[in-house]
Structures are given as C-alpha cells and as structure tokens.
Amino acid sequence: MLLDKTILELATGLRSGEFTSVDLVNECYDNIAKYNDKVNAFITIIPRETALKQAQEIDCKLKIACLPARQENCKLLAGIPFVLKDCFCTEGIKTTSASKVLENFIPPYSATIYKKLLDAGAILIGKMNMDAWGHGGSSENTDFGSVKNPWDTTRVAGGSGGGPAVAVATRMCVFAVGEDTGGSIRNPAGWTNTTGLKVTYGRVSRYGAIAYASSFDTVGPVAKTVEDCAIILETIAGVDKFDATSSPNPVPQYSKLLNKNLSEITIGIPKEFYGDGLDLEIKEKVLQVAADLKKSGAKIKEISMPLFDLCLPVYYLIAPSETSSNLARYDGIRYGNNRDNFTDETIRRILIGTYALSAGYYDAYYKKAQQVRTLFIEEYQKALSQCDILLQPIMPNNPPKFGQLLSDPLQNLLADIYTVSQNPVGVPSLAIPCGFTKSGLPIGAQIIGKMFSEELLLSIGHEYQKLTDFHTKKPNLQI
C-alpha cells in the first residue's frame, strides 16, 4: 500500500516516476470507500474528480520541476493528499466546526495554513469530524455522528480531533492538520496510534481557525511518523501578517535536523504525573520510553511539579471563559441562530465561562486562574531548567466505550488531566505511539520541551521511532 509510506518515501517515488499523485489520490478515496462508513471520520469529502484534477496538474508539474537541474523547486508535499480538522476555513468549501450552527457555512476566505499547504502542492481531500467547537475529549460531542476508534469501533477515537487522527490511522490520507487547545491533537493521537505535535503558541498561524480558547489554541500536524510531522511543520510554521500572535522566530528545516546525539539529553520524569489514577499498563509503557532512550545515551532524572493538581481547574476556568466570549458571535438574539443547535457540552462550557467572567465572580475565579497560570509558567520553567524534556503520559486510561464520558461530564474533564497544563504555558508537546495494551489498544506518550524547542522534540521522537516500530502498526478494520 502506497499510503503506508512516509512523506519522504512518497516524495521520492513521485519524483522518480515509480507512481503518481493520481495513484495516491485514488488509493485515499478507495480507502475512504472501504472504511469511512465504519469510523465516520469525515464531515465533508472533496469530490474525487476535483482531487484527481489537482493530482494530474501536480504530476505534470513534477515532471518539469523535478528535473535534476530544478530539484530545489520541488516541494516535498507536492502531490500529497491531506485532510483538515473542520475548524479551518477553506474558501468555497463547507466549514462547520462539527456544529449545526455552521452546518451550511461556506467561508469567503481560507486559513493561512490551508493556503500554505496548497502553495506547497498538497491536495485537500476532506474536512474532518471533531467535537463541536473543540469541546470534548472523545469526538462524541459532534452534530455529525461520533467518530469511532478503528482499533475497536465500540470505543471513542479521542477528541476533539478524532476525525483527523482516524483518517491517518486508517490510511484514508497521508497526513492531517489539527488544532490543539488542551490535547485535541495529542489525545486522539495517543488513542489511534498516530503521531501528533502540539506546537509552541504562535509557532503556526491561527488565522482562519475557528477559535475555542484564543490564548490556548495551537495548530499542528498529525501523521504516521515524527519525520512526517517535521516536514509538515516546516511548511506551515512562520509569522503571518494576519495573526498578531504568530511568532517572527525563524523556521528551521526541521526534517534535516532530526539526527541528534542523545548523550547530552536529560529526560525529566515528573513524579506527580505517574501517581493515582494512571492505568498501570500505560504507566509501564510510558516509562519504557525513557528506558529505551536511555539505551541511546539519554539521562533520566525524576523531578517534581507540585502544582500539577491545579491544572484542570485553571484550564476549565480560563478556556470556558474565552469560549463564552468567542461563541457570543453566534448568539441567537443577535444573529438569528437557534441556541438549541449547541451541544450540552458547549452549553455547559459557555455557562461556566460566563459565570466566571460575571461581576462579583471575576476576581474570585477568572483572575485567580490567570494568576495560577503564571505560576504554571514558572513551574514549567523550573522543571525544564533541571532537564531538557519532560516525559509524560497522554491519557490516564484506555479509550472508553461510547457513552461513558458523555454520561459523566466530570470524568470527561478528567480525561484531559495530562494534556491541559501545556497550553496555558505555551510549550510544545509531541505525542508518539509507545505500545499496546494486552487487549490490543494503542498507548501513547508525550515529550514536552521549552518554547520553540520543536527541533529537539522532533529529533528525540525520531530517534525513538528508529528504535521501535509501534508507529508502523495499523488497525485491522474488517471491510
């Protein structure tokens, strides 16, 4: 199967004439026909003929642009099919954020990352299912039907970006771009055996992304391998005149900086992240990551992050406060939209946020949470002064059966316990597959570094994927 190959392998094959972009696109659509009815990953599927026309044009360009004398003009993503989480505006293509509020919304403009990918020659084949507005950790809180986990279709795929991760896991595309506000890339990556990167805040433009919590939102890649994520990131990262929060820091050629000697790397193990509530199989597999990297020369150091217990209350005061403000633009009184179109989870977050911002409660809740957020920043700075990266679990448990999180809203929030402290701080985190449970469900680990340390995280993750083959495994969906 061509779609089992990495982006670099596909790019090499396209340039050598071993296969064509048309072949790749047809294989994607063949897999969509086989698998999407079983997993419900797509909200919008671009017509096959539209994608094939683009592929044919790319194939013609590759024959010219990739002559030996013109190799420098040949972009690695040219002719590569991809998908987007349905929170990114795509001019002329429906964008819903998985909510019936936007069921028929056709954006008049495109998100910056979408334009960058098109400029690189990548081919969009679909917009992906998710928790509506990004509100959830299971991709059940969607108005377009729940996303199912391809490793066990009675279980959730993770959220809010379940659709993009499932599409990569089932080879219905080569890669995806998602949005991570509190784990929405990393959570489904961990539960579907894919690789996902939550970038430093501002590393990638948010222009054209439908906001959940504006000071937490980040845009990043989901793919089969760390190397693929590096190639995607160097394409989509960079300053954007349309996003004042985007960083002017230069964008390294991440894919050419992956081979790093780990002998000078110290991996921090925050003991608070391995205590009560963490499934023992997950704990064992994540700690094995440290043991494997130690064999490559890395040093291991146990550290302490005592503010860990406060991460959930801080996140779930600030994020709902920002979403209550962001979603005010869809208010039924002002614009005629029916408030009944909001899911229970979205209504719950709007109410919490509005309450926290209201007169008499602002100082006690929202302001206090922002003060603790500053303490979190200091906590991460202190932890990362003792080591180069932190190794943590992604999720405390295996993907639950459908309905388990919906029936217990508090448990739904607790599922994010390991992923919500990084977004308020702004630091990057890389999710990588690290094994399977005895019952065959995927387990993921996340490695976290200082702001703008994506180069380091990617190089360490790449080394780990050279040592192991977990990331090459794919679900056996019966056709």
Q: Which residues contact 90 (CB under 8 A, 6 or more apart)?
A: 84, 107, 110, 111, 114, 124, 127
Q: Which residues contact 453 (CB under 8 A, 6 or more apart)?
A: 200, 389, 427, 428
The candidate with the shortest Cα–Cα distance to 54, out of 6, 125, 1, 5, is: 125
Which of the 8 DSSP states describes residue 200? P
| Residues marked as catalytic | 85, 160, 184
| Residue appearing with tokens 């790319």 | 58
Maximum distance among all Cα pairs of the chain, rounded to whole angstroms: 69
Q: Give the tokens for residue 112.
A: 């910056």
Q: b/e for 146-167, b at 16 or more Cβ within 10 A?
A: bbbbbbbeebbbbbbbbbbbbb
Kindly give the interhelix angle for 48-65 and 7-16, rounded to the nearest 10 degrees.
Answer: 70
> What is the rounded CA–CA span in Å between residue 24 and residue 14?
10
Count of CB atoms situated within 10 Å of the CB of 230? 29
Q: Give the tokens for residue 299.
A: 């040093």
Residue 77, phi then psi, degrees to nearest 5: -90, 0
| CB contact at 8 A, 446 and 243 | no
Cis bond upstream, residue 358 (ω within 30) = no
